Structure 1
Amino acid sequence: MAKILIVEDNALNIKLFCDLLAAHGHEPEAVTDSRNALDAARNFSPDLVITDIQLPHVSGLELIQMIRGDDKLAEVPIMAVTAYSARGDEERIRAAGAQAYVSKPISVARFAQTVDELLAGRHEAVERV
């Protein structure tokens, strides 16, 4: 079971992500206000962070950069999710430090596969240390 932090301001997406993750045996925790996300991540110590990119207050890109700059969280894999995919978005999101990018509306199968791949990569990295 992995601890997965979800940063998302849309209640329906939060429910969908939490339900999917719980159905796959994970422990999801949702944060709706991106201003609280970094503190929530520090307190929750997630194995994976899933963040929307289009967030009020602190954007998903800013949040990814903040997580990458935090000693405790720098190695946590990040999956970015966004409804607005424009040319160059994936490159910007990956350059900020996210390992994966999924566009909305999400494919449930792709979402679950991406979560599994990111968690497997994290566990392999931990095992190599």
Structure 2
Amino acid sequence: MTAHLLTINQQVHLHQLKRILLIEDNDVNRMLLSDYLGYCGYHVKSLSNGAALFSTIENFQPDLMLLDLKLPDVDGYWLLEQIQQHSYLPKIPIIVVSAFAFKADQERAISLGARRYLVKPINLTALMITIQEELACRCI
């Protein structure tokens, strides 16, 4: 076994990794998004339902969340409402990634605290731009 030492630049980069919490019930979508975000340099934690959302937020401390609205155990709109009731959670930007394409769905999610709304199937370039914009707004 050999040890690989990190260069100074790699060490600095590791400390700057942004954490994204992905809540997506579809196994294929969750795996593909998680892998893609990891490839793009983000530290990703994914959940297949909303049951462990609040304990995961507490332990993982995400910089941003990607939330599907149709989950097997809980309604995504309900999760948005619950997030708004915790004083520190509304500061975490939430991007909804959903197959619900109606304008009323988008307006409802935004009114409940989502920062952005992307309709599936998503354009990965648009997703990355949206994530970067939201993370940049949070740093200011």
Residue 48 (structure 2) pairs with residue 37 (structure 1): no
Once the 2 structures are TM-superposed, how far is the Cα of residue 8 of structure 1 from its aligned partner? 0.7
Structure 1 segments of 4+ aligned residues over 3 angstroms from their partners: none
CA contact under 8 A between 1:20 and 1:112: conserved in structure 2?
Answer: no
Match of 2:68 among 36, 47, 52: 52
Once the 2 structures are TM-superposed, how far is the Cα of residue 74 of structure 1 from its aligned partner? 2.2
Using structure 1 for the length normalisation, give the TM-score: 0.90
Question: What residue number does 2:86 align with?
Answer: 70
- List alignment gaps of at least 5 residues for structure 1: 125-129
Amino acid at match of 2:108: R
Match of 1:12 among 25, 28, 36: 28
Question: What residue number does 2:13 align with?
Answer: none
Residue 125 (structure 2) pairs with residue 109 (structure 1): yes
Match of 2:105 among 89, 104, 109: 89
Compute the RMSD of aligned alpha carbons. 1.1
Amino acid at match of 2:57: A
Instruction: Render the CA deviation track for 1:49-95: whole Å, top value 9, x for unaligned.
Output: 11101112211111112122112322100000111212311110100
Count of residues paired in the alignment: 124
Query: Whose radius of gyration is greater, 1 or 2?
Result: 2
Report 1 or 2 for greater relative contact order, CA contacts < 8 Å, sequence distance ≥ 6.
1
CA contact under 8 A between 1:38 and 1:66: conserved in structure 2?
Answer: no
The answer to which of 99-108 and 86-95 deviates more is 86-95
Question: What residue number does 1:127 align with?
Answer: none
Alpha-carbon distance in structure 1 between the residues aligned to 2:135 and 2:21: 13
Among all aligned residue pairs of Structure 1 and Structure 2, give the percentage whose two residues are the same amino acid: 33
Task: Indicate the SS of the match to 1:50.
Answer: strand
Alpha-carbon distance in structure 2 between the residues aligned to 1:15 and 1:72: 28
